[in-house]
Amino acid sequence: MPAVDYRSLAGGILEQVGGEANVVSLAHCATRLRFRLKDAAKADKRAVEALPGVITVMEAGGQFQVVIGNDVPIVFAEIGRISALTGDASAADEGPKGNLFDQFIDLISKIFSPILWTLAGVGLLKAFLTLAVTLGWLAADGQTYTILNAAGDGLFYFLPILLSVTAARRFGANQFSSMAIAGALVYPTIVALNDAGAPVSFLGIPVVMVSYTSSVVPIIVAVWMQALIEKWLARVLPSVIRNFTVPLVTITVMVPLTLIVVGPVTSFAATAISSAVVWLFGLAPWLAGAIMGGLWQVFVIFGLHWGFVPIMVNDLATQGYSVLGGPLPAAVLAQGAAVLAVAIRTRSQKLRQIAGPAAVSGILAGVTEPAIYGANLPLKRPFAFGVAGGAVGGAIAAAGGSANTAFALPSLIALPAWMGQGNFTLQLIGVGVAMAIAFTLTMVIGFTDPDDDAPEAGAEVVTAGVAGASEVLAPVSGELVALDSVKDKVFASGALGSGLGIVPSSGQVYAPFAGTVVSAFPTGHAFGIKSADGVEALIHIGIDTVQLDGRGFAAAVSQGQSVEAGDLLATVDLDAVTSAGYDPTTVVVITNSAQFAAVLPAEGHEVAHGDPAIIIER
């Protein structure tokens, strides 16, 4: 099947429903776009159904429903990018919300991820320039150095402009307007006002000037505010003037607002946080180094490391170094040394094929994900030995006041970035001790070697007497019904895949197999789960229950979460669903049914959750 061009599909759907002006509202559920139209006669149902990527179209409940399947959030997001209908250009990238700290970490991760490798690349360039000057290969006042330094410094100087693009994508703002706002912050005359130190005002309002070159937080906050203003303007302005008026008003408002309020407040907050961290390093540097060195890779696993990135970048911009980075080479290279020992010690050919390349990337380039997820963490002990080595090495490095003077992924070849601040000899000793501890403990104490002949996690299993099959359990207790008897045209047609329905007798809904929650609708009425061996199931609680907007539903899991068979997915108040006039039948469909030899649903009888419901033959 050819790949679907989602941007073209979004434009085609919007055109065939009568254009943006004919749409009263647009929402989406687990499988379909739900339009409310001003004039339904303007919508061409057949033309929409003919678009590549559209499964079918339903008209029910006053809605024009375009069935897309699992990729509906992507199409919804694309419509948001070409119109003002959804107000959410990041809908395709929804993730677990969590608490405020989790949301902050997720936000920073999404904004920095697209430019991380470029940051690392120019960071290495700056590190090698430092090495070249230290060894006398280049003169710091020479033209060659000036040109190469510009190549390494340019991204950092104009960092707000780069972040404005990624932040705009995250918040659903116009990225070119975001770049205009960021460009104003680093405009030469604005930089000159800050450098002059003289009083500055705007319409008589005092402006506290700060440096925005290389800054992080001000532009992120500014783009978030920009997105809010743009969405409001898109609702209130007539379409005939909207295209040019929205950026005109937004840029005119946001540049002064950022200079007067956002910049000074966020810069003060960032400085305060950085000062607190530096104070901890000043109070007990060895302890702070042990904590950072020991826990850094744990932070990476949980995504918590993104919370430190703005502080590090802010430190590099304001003082030229970051003590937070001092313990990090020990943390990273210890994991690399541990996986190197795994590659040498293991008798498993499969594990050696993973651990060998992982050791190279971890030690030379500082990319430890293959080492951690491919070997150290599954084996447990090597990861713990790496943590121990990182803690000891980090304490030694921090005791010497080591800090990085450029943004670079901690690695063997990036060590020149740590030459310019603190005792570099202690940094090298710390790295050496960290690697020695991790390598020696892994080699001596060892780990449990995996059995190459044992079936891998997620491999095909034998269930219900069928060879090469997988089993899908009933997610709820109740009465089985054939899929073609379900009172929903799309499900009943099998367009979304083979499966069955269950009229529930209780309100607890459980995972039908072990896997990952790949989609969890915010209203708690639908979940997508994918098993390690490739089975993709959609559990849809009730028919058209998205209209309840979450009333009566309480989700117990979130997107990205791992679940075991029988884990609680959600609780639903069946009385509330039925009293509101909705059918509570829970539908289970295998959305990638075409990939299997057969999908065999059980037939009409009572089931309890956890009973076999569907057998998948491979």
- How do residues 354-406 score in pLDDT, each as one tens digit? 788 878 877 876 767 678 777 888 888 999 999 999 999 999 999 999 999 88
- At 1 the pLDDT is 42
User: What CATH number is attached to the domain comprising 46?
Assistant: 3.30.1360.60
Shared-domain flag, residues 294 and 440: yes
Report the DSSP beta bridge partners of residue 572: 553
Q: When comparing pLDDT for 300 and 144, which is higher?
A: 144
Phi, psi of 486 (to 5 degrees): -70, 140
Does a structural domain hold residue 452? no
Active site residues: 29, 540
Same domain, 399 and 481: no
Residues 301 and 376 in one domain: yes
Sheet (strand 461-463) strand order: 461-463, 466-473, 612-617, 598-601
The CATH number that applies at residue 573 is 2.70.70.10
pLDDT single digits (tens) 26-35: 887 767 888 8
1, part of any domain: no
Which two three-digit tokens encode residue 553?
A: 């539903």
Do 72 and 209 have their domain in common? Answer: no
Q: Residue 455's pLDDT is what?
A: 43
CA distances from 253 to 223, 229, 250, 524 (A): 12, 9, 5, 39
- Angle at CA of residue 197, ends 192 and 200, nearest 5°: 80
213 pLDDT tier (thresholds 50, 70, 90): confident
Same domain, 597 and 528: yes
pLDDT digits (tens, 9 = 90+) for 333-343: 999 999 999 99
**391: CB partners within 8 A, 6+ apart:** 290, 291, 293, 294, 295
* Residue 78 placed within a domain: yes
pLDDT category, 606, cuts 50, 70, 90? confident
Position 494 scores a pLDDT of 83
User: What is the model's pLDDT at position 91?
Assistant: 38
481 forms beta bridges with 501
Q: Verify that 289 and 267 share a domain, yes or no.
A: no
263-283 vs 309-318: helix crossing angle, rounded to 10: 90
Which residues, listed in sequence order, are joined to residue 66 by a DSSP beta bridge? 33, 57
Q: 534 versus 106: which is more confidently predicted?
A: 534
Task: Tell which of 93, 127, 159 closes a domain.
Answer: 93
Q: Are residues 166 and 24 in the same domain?
A: no
Choose among 9, 55, 57, 8: nearest CA to 37. Answer: 57
How far from 46 is each of 214, 274, 560, 570, CA to CA, in Å?
A: 52, 59, 36, 37
Nearest one of 110, 323, 320, 326 to 211, comparing CA atoms: 320
State which of 45, 62, 93 marks the end of a domain. 93
Q: For residues 354 and 375, is the Cβ–Cβ distance under 8 A?
A: yes
Closest CA to 403 of 286, 321, 316, 334: 321
pLDDT of 184 above 50: yes
Q: Is the Cβ–Cβ distance between 301 and 377 less than 8 Å?
A: yes
Q: Is residue 497 part of a domain?
A: yes
Residue 597 CB neighbours (<10 A): 10
- Residue 276 within a domain: no
Whether residue 406 lies inside any domain: the answer is: yes
480, 548: one domain: yes
Alpha-carbon dihedral angle through residues 267, 273, 275, 279, given to the nearest 10 degrees: 180
Let me know if residue 111 belongs to a domain.
Answer: no
Distance between CA 382 and CA 514 in Å, rounded? Answer: 26
pLDDT of residue 269: 66
| DSSP symbol at 363 | I
Highest mean pLDDT among 85-94, 207-216, 412-421, 597-606 belongs to 412-421
| Cα-to-chain-centroid distance, residue 12 | 29
Of 160-164, 564-568, 592-596, the poorest mean pLDDT is in 592-596
Element (H, E) at 184: helix 175-185
Q: Are 289 and 260 in a shared domain?
A: no
498 and 436 share one domain: no
- Determine the average pLDDT of the residues in 151-180: 86
pTM of the model: 0.46
Is the pLDDT higher at 95 or at 562?
562
Q: What angle do CA 451, 301, 420 make, to 5 degrees?
A: 120
State the distance between the two ends of the chain, measured CA to CA, in whole angstroms. Answer: 20
51: DSSP letter: S
Please tell me whether residues 290 and 161 are part of one structural domain.
no
What pLDDT, on a 0 to 100 scale, did the predictor assign at position 281? Answer: 77
Q: Which domain holds residue 569?
A: 465-617
DSSP state of 475: S
pLDDT of 574 over the 60 cut: yes
At 443-498, the pLDDT tens digits run 999 888 876 554 444 333 333 333 456 789 999 999 998 888 888 888 888 888 88
In the chain, how many domains are there? Answer: 4
**Residue 253 in this model has a pLDDT that exceeds 90:** yes
| Residue 498 counted as domain residue | yes
Residues 290 and 435 in one domain: yes
